[in-house]
Amino acid sequence: MNIQDILTIYDYNYWANKRILSASEKVTGEQFLAPANFPFSGLRGTLVHIMDAEFGWRMFFKENNWSAPDLKETEFPTLAAIQTRWKKEEQEFRTYLATLRDEDMTSHKHYTNEKGEPRNRILWQCLWHVVNHGTQHRSEAAALLTDYGSSPGNLDFTVYLIETQKS
């Protein structure tokens, strides 16, 4: 995998995030805060979890350790608070990505997971994981939004390509 591929995948990631956030603007405050039967509860918890994962991995990539504090759901009482922080996070992640070169993609990242198990991953695999993780949880957010009558529409990569590529 090369850096251009990674940049395309991240462009898709942020396009899909924006679709979810845009659809989230149409739900009520009660729906935004309502608990649900998903791993991170309701819409707010799911959005914060996706954003927290992006933040945590970015900090790991930059600092080579997991010292960044977890983002807490209660720190984001409103959708506007999430949108503001996520915009900043996207800018910071894009700034990090802009420092990478093709040869960086095969560098190794060593860490210990939350169970104390050592991991040895290649950078492009970690970068891909962040986007794939977001895809999983965006699908949960999309299900909630659809139930609330505010579907984000199709989030497929091919739809992203159709909407963003020039003829």
pLDDT digits (tens, 9 = 90+) for 24-55: 999 999 999 998 888 888 999 999 999 999 99
Token output for 22 = 């845009």
Q: In whole angstroms, give the CA distance from residue 47 to residue 79.
A: 9
Element (H, E) at 17: helix 3-24
Percent of the chain surpassing pLDDT 70: 99
Helices 79-97, 43-63: crossing angle, 10 deg rounding: 30
Question: CATH top-level class for 3-164?
Answer: mainly alpha
User: Is residue 119 very low, low, confident or very high in pLDDT (cuts 50, 70, 90)?
Assistant: very high
64: left (phi over 0), alpha (psi -120 to 50) or beta: left
Residue at 36: amino acid letter: A
Question: So where are the chain's domains?
Answer: 3-164
CB 39 within 8 A of CB 140: yes
Token output for 77 = 């009482």
